[in-house]
A = this chain, B = another copy of it.
Amino acid sequence: MKQDHDWQLDGIVKQLHEARSEWRSAQGRTHEPGDRELPSRTVMQGIIEALAGALFPMRLGPADLRKANENFYVGHTLDSALNALLQQAVLELRHANRKQPVQHEELVQQARAIVRRFAAALPGLRRLLDTDVMAAYHGDPAAKSVDEVLLCYPGVMAVVHHRLAHLLYKEGLTLLARIISELAHSDTGIDIHPGAQIGPSFFIDHGTGVVIGETAVIGERVRIYQAVTLGAKRFEADEQGNLLKGHARHPIVEDDVVIYAGATILGRITIGAGSTIGGNVWITRSLPPGSNVTQATLKNQPCTD
C-alpha cells in the first residue's frame, strides 16, 4: 500500500468546522468559553464501580480482600471515589451556570457540600440495598444464594445504580444522575429515570426493556418483570405548544404490587396496594387496592386455525 492516502482532509476539516460554527451560532453558543465543560461517562463508570465495591466489599470488592481489612479498603476506595465525584460535580455545576458568571471557588464549595451529603447517605443506602437483595433472592425460584443474586442479577445491578443516581438527582446533579442511569441501561436493558422514587425490597426480574419514568412513585415490596413500562400517557404542552417539564405524569405503584412482563401502565394513575398486573396488559386508569388484572385476550383465547 505505497500510494498516498489522500483523503482531501483540508477541505473536509474546513467543512466540519463550518458545520460546527453554524450550529454554535444557531444555539447562541459562540461566546461560550473554549474548553470542554461536560462530565465524563468513563469517569462516572469508575466512580460507580468503586462505590459498589465500597458498599459490598466482600462481594464486589477486589478478589484478594479479607474481612479483617475491609475497613481500610472501604475508606480508601470511598476517599478516591468521592474526590473524583467532586470533580465531576464541579463540571456539571459549571455547565449549568455557563450563562452567568460564577466564581470557580463558589462552585467548588457547592459541589463539596453536595458530595458530603451524598457520602453521609451511603450507610443508609447500603441497608436499603440489602432489602432489595433479599427481595430478589426470595422472589426468584431459580436463585440459589444471595451471593449469586448480587453477582449475577441485572435487576439488582440496575437498582444499585438507580439508588446512587437518585441521590444525585435529588441534589440537582441531574446530568451525573442521568449518566449513571444510562450506564445501567446499556448493561442491563433496564431504563429507570433517576428521578423515580422507589421504596425498599424492590425487585426487577430479567429486566430487558423495563422503562420507569421520571415522576414514577413505587412503594415497598414491588416486583416487576421484563418489558414493563411505567410511562407517561401524553406530554402536556403549554399554550405555545412547548412541552411542560417536571410535572407528575407517571404512575404511582403502591406497596406489594406485582407487574408481569410486558405490562404497560401509563399516566398519573395509582395501582392500589397488593394488586397483580398480568403480562402484556395495557392500563391507563387507576386501580383499587387488591386488583387482579389480566389481559383481555385471556378470556378470548387465541384460537388455532
State in angstroms the CA–CA spacing of A282 and B300 once bound together. 10
Write out the residue numbers on chain B whose beta carbons fall within 8 Å of the beta carbon of A141: 232, 235, 243-246, 249
- Do residues B297 and A33 form an inter-chain contact, with CB atoms below 8 A? no
State in angstroms the CA–CA spacing of A260 and B5 once bound together. 46
A274 within 8 A of B: no
- Kindly provide the distance from the CB of A229 to the nearest chain B CB, expressed in whole angstroms: 6
- Do residues B185 and A186 form an inter-chain contact, with CB atoms below 8 A? no
- Do residues A151 and B9 form an inter-chain contact, with CB atoms below 8 A? no
A182 within 8 A of B: yes
Q: Could you give, for residues 205-228 of chain A, a 1 whenever the CB lies within 8 Å of some chain B CB and a 0 otherwise?
A: 010110100100000000000110
CB closest chain-B residue, reference A186 = B187
Write out the residue numbers on chain B whose beta carbons fall within 8 Å of the beta carbon of A264: 261-262, 279-280
Instruction: Give the number of chain A interface residues (Cβ < 8 Å).
Output: 142
A283 within 8 A of B: yes
- Do residues A33 and B2 form an inter-chain contact, with CB atoms below 8 A? yes
Task: Name the one of B13, B27, B108, B279 contacting A146, with C-beta atoms under 8 angstroms.
Answer: B27
- Do residues B18 and A36 form an inter-chain contact, with CB atoms below 8 A? no
Write out the residue numbers on chain B whose beta carbons fall within 8 Å of the beta carbon of A1: 35, 86, 108
Q: Could you give, for residues 1-45 of chain A, a 1 whenever the CB lies within 8 Å of some chain B CB and a 0 otherwise?
A: 111111111101101111110110001000001111111110000
A95 within 8 A of B: yes
Task: Name the one of B7, B119, B214 contacting A8, with C-beta atoms under 8 angstroms.
Answer: B119
A170 within 8 A of B: no
Q: Could you give, for residues 134-159 of chain A, a 1 whenever the CB lies within 8 Å of some chain B CB and a 0 otherwise?
A: 00001001101111100111100000
- Kindly provide the distance from the CB of A173 to the nearest chain B CB, expressed in whole angstroms: 11
